[in-house]
């Protein structure tokens, strides 16, 4: 990752840690709320050939910024951005904040950097993925991200305020909308019958910090809480897909922030050999690292990704790519008995990232056990669902054969005629085919009825972990993504399948910053930049 992305991600981390510390008195499980605007304006550089001069602004309104120590922050942020030839400016809108407003004041931060166009594009995608990851555990923080290149604007809004979430035992909320984690076109609407994942938490375990890591300043007691889920929900997937085709690992640090900043390199060598923590043979899976580092996706990219291959040694034969993805979330945090200061927390991220390998290996056995429990349970659900599906299929086959036996063997022409007419079948062979199909469809219909029925359920914002059957029974369309934003902006938009064109990209680079035509998922919608601004105020001030 280059300058812009790294700077933006670190600044966002710092801000969110600051918010978290400022709201430490709130009950456990209370969600952070806030809005941040990240905008980058790029113009052809006057000083460098074939480069863009990028001015990035990060602004917030209505944030709890009292106690914000500018000097410390500037010092820290510059220490980690040595390679950034940036001009960092800070503006604290003291005049705009009323003394009576309880510590709420807007702020704005601007930095400039010259970058190659391709670098800027990569940085934007990296920022986008980082925002996705934050949104997954901080659904009520909304990010407005816009990029203007030589006058051409693209923008997105990131947030999951009205999406279903699940409160983990460690107090971290996790968005459970399946489309956050896998490609939407992969699973068509008619095929998918449950829009949620159902994370199974593992037992929190204490991580031992190796002496050499403690020596460099990482002190305290770390807790690792894993959670595993299959995506999409195996129970409600209507077709016969029951294989796992990929594994995605997400790493989160204290305050529920992404531990790893997006980059092309593997973040930590510990995951090069995933069998260190998960015995894949037990699940009859052959897992190899997925080296596809393409950031250009509409769903959140994992920190570490694996694909499942055929176990018979033929590596060219890849398991059906339409299979489930096993999601593994690893949350690393400090034990609540060891409160860490804000600045220390921010600094800890760098140490954690650098030494994560060593820390996890030091506590290899307990990590393995905890992860195994979560994965076992997640896959057990999958196994049970697969078993139930097989049972349905096998029994339906018996039912079809029995009915066929009577219909074919009957000498009652009226009866035979009525049976064939019911399915508009020309002959008994066609009748049999349609009969079989009809049995398959009634199983789907059972779940579709739950999705599109009259009963409208409110978003389950603070669900505790519940079993698959209950969760699937309460699925409803309004919990699927995109619709939230669609409803807000354009109530006439219907669920799913809405396409939005962003304002282009075409600035001297053949590749668009964002997809020119994307399903209404996380890509937001087109809103002119001026709409965010109060025309009566200075353009540098951000009001939301």
Partner 1 sequence: MAFAPMGPEASFFKVLDQHRAFLLADLRRVGEETPRGGTRPASSTEVLAAIENIIQDIIASLARNEAPAFTIDNRSSWENIKFEDSVGLQMVSQCTTRKIKSDSPKSVQNFALILKILSMVYKLVQSNTYATKRDIYYTDIQLFGNQTVVDNIINDISCMLKVPRRSLHILSTSKGLIAGNLSYIEEDGTRVNCTGCSTAVAVPSNIQGLGNLITDAKFLLIVEKDATFQRLLDDNFCSKISPCIMVTGKGVPDLNTRLLVKKLWDLFHIPVFTLVDADPHGIEIMCIYKYGSLSMSFEAHNLTVPAIRWLGLLPSDIKRLNIPKNTLIPLTKRDQMKLDSILKRPYITCQPFWRKEMEVMADSKMKAEIQALTFISSDYLSKVYLPNKLKFGGWI
Instruction: Say whether residue 242 binds partner 1 (CB under 8 A).
Output: no
User: What CA–CA distances, in Å, run from 200 to 8, 193, 308, 384, 523?
Assistant: 32, 20, 21, 15, 28
Tell me how far, at minimum, the Cβ of 401 lies from partner 1, in Å: 8
Q: Which is nearer to partner 1, 229 or 419 (CB)?
A: 419
Q: Which is nearer to partner 1, 373 or 425 (CB)?
A: 425
- Choose the stretch contacting partner 1; rule: CB under 8 A; options: 143-151, 197-205, 253-261, 434-442: 434-442
Q: Which is nearer to partner 1, 230 or 407 (CB)?
A: 407
- Choose the stretch contacting partner 1; rule: CB under 8 A; options: 27-35, 216-224, 442-450, 506-514: 442-450
Collect all residues with Cβ–Cβ distance below 8 Å to 29 and sequence separation of at least 6. 167, 171, 173, 462
Q: Which is nearer to partner 1, 413 or 456 (CB)?
A: 413
Q: SS3 for 483? A: helix
Tell me how far, at minimum, the Cβ of 382 lies from partner 1, in Å: 15
Tell me how far, at minimum, the Cβ of 392 lies from partner 1, in Å: 5
Instruction: Say whether residue 532 binds partner 1 (CB under 8 A).
Output: no
CB atoms closer than 10 angstroms to residue 454: 5
Site residues for partner 1, 273-292, by CB under 8 A, read none
Q: Which is nearer to partner 1, 288 or 388 (CB)?
A: 388
**What string marks each residue from 21 to 60 as x (binds partner 1 by CB under 8 A) or -?**
----------------------------------------
Q: Which is nearer to partner 1, 30 or 394 (CB)?
A: 394
Tell me how far, at minimum, the Cβ of 514 lies from partner 1, in Å: 40
Cα separation of 525 and 536, whole Å? 25
Q: Which is nearer to partner 1, 272 or 442 (CB)?
A: 442
Residue 306 · residue 274 · CB < 8 Å = yes
Q: Which one of residues 75, 365, 445, 462 is an interface residue with partner 1 (CB under 8 A)? A: 445
**What string marks each residue from 155 to 184 as x (binds partner 1 by CB under 8 A) or -?**
------------------------------
Burial 289-314 (b: 16+ CB within 10 A, else e): eeeeeebbbbbbbbbbbbbbbeeeee
Tell me how far, at minimum, the Cβ of 451 lies from partner 1, in Å: 15
Burial of 530 (0-12, 13-18, 19+ CB in 10 A): exposed
- The sign one gets for the Cα dihedral 251, 254, 256, 261 is negative
Q: How many residues bind partner 1 (CB under 8 A)?
A: 32
Tell me how far, at minimum, the Cβ of 381 lies from partner 1, in Å: 14
Q: Which is nearer to partner 1, 218 or 419 (CB)?
A: 419
Distance, C-alpha 443 to centroid of its chain:
30
Omega of the bond prior to 232 within 30 degrees of 0, cis?
A: yes
Residue 300 · residue 136 · CB < 8 Å = yes
Q: Which is nearer to partner 1, 150 or 402 (CB)?
A: 402
Q: Which is nearer to partner 1, 437 or 488 (CB)?
A: 437
Site residues for partner 1, 460-499, by CB under 8 A, read none
Q: Which is nearer to partner 1, 377 or 444 (CB)?
A: 444
Site residues for partner 1, 66-105, by CB under 8 A, read none
Collect all residues with Cβ–Cβ distance below 8 Å to 476 and sequence separation of at least 6. 450, 451, 455, 456, 457
Burial of 113 (0-12, 13-18, 19+ CB in 10 A): buried
Written as one string, the DSSP assignment of 97-120 is S-TTSSSB--EEEEEEEEE-HHHH
Site residues for partner 1, 364-423, by CB under 8 A, read 388-389, 391-392, 394-396, 398-399, 401-403, 405-407, 409-412, 415, 418-419, 422-423
Among the listed residues 355, 377, 144, 383, the one whose alpha carbon sits nearest the alpha carbon of residue 270: 355
- End-to-end C-alpha distance for the chain, whole angstroms: 29
Cα separation of 540 and 200, whole Å? 45
Tell me how far, at minimum, the Cβ of 419 lies from partner 1, in Å: 5
Tell me how far, at minimum, the Cβ of 494 lies from partner 1, in Å: 22
Instruction: Say whether residue 438 binds partner 1 (CB under 8 A).
Output: yes
Residue appearing with tokens 């609540």? 336
Q: Which is nearer to partner 1, 439 or 532 (CB)?
A: 439
CB atoms closer than 10 angstroms to residue 405: 10
User: What CA–CA distances, in Å, run from 262 to 132, 288, 300, 389?
Assistant: 11, 20, 11, 38
Q: Which is nearer to partner 1, 294 or 424 (CB)?
A: 424
DSSP assignment letter at 198: -
Q: Which one of residues 70, 272, 442, 464 is an interface residue with partner 1 (CB under 8 A)? A: 442
Instruction: Based on DSSP, count helices (H) and strands (E) in the chain, helices before strands.
Output: 10, 18
Q: Which one of residues 377, 443, 466, 541 is an interface residue with partner 1 (CB under 8 A)? A: 443
Q: Which one of residues 90, 439, 495, 533 is an interface residue with partner 1 (CB under 8 A)? A: 439
Footprint on this chain of partner 1 (rule: CB under 8 A) = 388-389, 391-392, 394-396, 398-399, 401-403, 405-407, 409-412, 415, 418-419, 422-423, 435, 438-439, 441-443, 445-446
């Amino acid at each position: 990752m280059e300058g812009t992305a790294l700077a933006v991600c670190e600044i966002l981390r710092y801000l969110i840690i600051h918010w978290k510390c400022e709201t430490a008195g709130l009950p456990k499980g209370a969600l952070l709320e806030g809005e941040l605007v990240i905008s980058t304006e790029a113009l052809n550089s006057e000083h460098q050939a074939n480069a863009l001069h990028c001015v990035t602004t990060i602004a917030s309104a209505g944030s709890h910024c009292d106690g914000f120590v500018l000097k410390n922050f500037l010092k820290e942020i510059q220490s980690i951005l040595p390679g950034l030839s940036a001009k960092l400016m800070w503006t604290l809108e003291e005049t705009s904040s009323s003394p009576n407003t309880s510590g709420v004041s807007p702020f704005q931060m601007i930095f400039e950097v010259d970058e190659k166009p391709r670098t800027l594009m990569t940085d934007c995608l990296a920022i986008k993925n980082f925002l996705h990851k934050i949104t997954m555990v901080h659904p009520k923080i909304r990010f407005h991200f816009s990029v203007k290149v030589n006058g051409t604007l693209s923008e997105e809004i990131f947030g999951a305020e009205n999406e279903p979430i699940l409160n983990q035992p460690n107090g971290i909320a996790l968005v459970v909308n399946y489309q956050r984690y896998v490609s939407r076109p992969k699973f068509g609407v008619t095929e998918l019958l449950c829009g949620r994942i159902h994370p199974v938490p593992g037992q929190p375990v204490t991580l031992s910090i190796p002496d050499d890591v403690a020596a460099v300043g990482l002190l305290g007691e770390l807790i690792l809480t894993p959670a595993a889920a299959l995506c999409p929900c195996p129970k409600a997937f209507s077709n016969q897909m029951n294989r796992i085709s990929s594994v995605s690992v997400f790493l989160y640090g204290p305050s529920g922030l992404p531990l790893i900043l997006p980059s092309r390199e593997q973040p930590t060598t510990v995951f090069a050999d995933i069998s260190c923590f998960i015995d894949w043979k037990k699940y009859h899976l052959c897992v190899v690292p997925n080296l596809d580092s393409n950031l250009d996706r509409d769903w959140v990219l994992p920190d570490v990704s694996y694909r499942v291959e055929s176990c018979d040694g033929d590596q060219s034969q890849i398991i059906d790519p339409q299979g489930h993805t096993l999601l593994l979330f690893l949350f690393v945090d400090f034990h609540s008995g060891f409160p860490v200061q804000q600045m220390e927390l921010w600094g800890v991220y760098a140490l954690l990232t650098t030494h994560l390998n060593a820390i996890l290996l030091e506590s290899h056995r307990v990590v393995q056990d905890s992860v195994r429990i979560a994965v076992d349970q997640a896959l057990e659900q999958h196994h049970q669902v697969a078993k139930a599906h097989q049972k349905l299929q096998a029994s339906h086959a018996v039912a079809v054969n029995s009915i066929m036996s009577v219909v074919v063997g009957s000498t009652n022409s009226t009866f035979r005629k009525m049976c064939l007419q019911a399915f508009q079948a020309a002959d008994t062979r066609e009748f049999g085919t349609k009969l079989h199909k009809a049995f398959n469809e009634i199983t789907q219909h059972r779940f579709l009825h739950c999705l599109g029925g009259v009963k409208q359920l409110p978003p389950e914002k603070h669900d505790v972990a519940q079993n698959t059957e209950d969760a699937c029974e309460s699925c409803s369309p309004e919990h699927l993504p995109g619709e939230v934003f669609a409803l807000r902006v354009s109530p006439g938009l219907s669920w799913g399948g809405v396409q939005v064109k962003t304002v282009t990209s075409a600035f001297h680079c053949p590749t668009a910053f964002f997809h020119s035509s994307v399903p209404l998922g996380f890509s937001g919608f087109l809103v002119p930049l001026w709409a965010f601004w109060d025309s009566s105020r200075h353009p540098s001030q951000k009001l939301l």
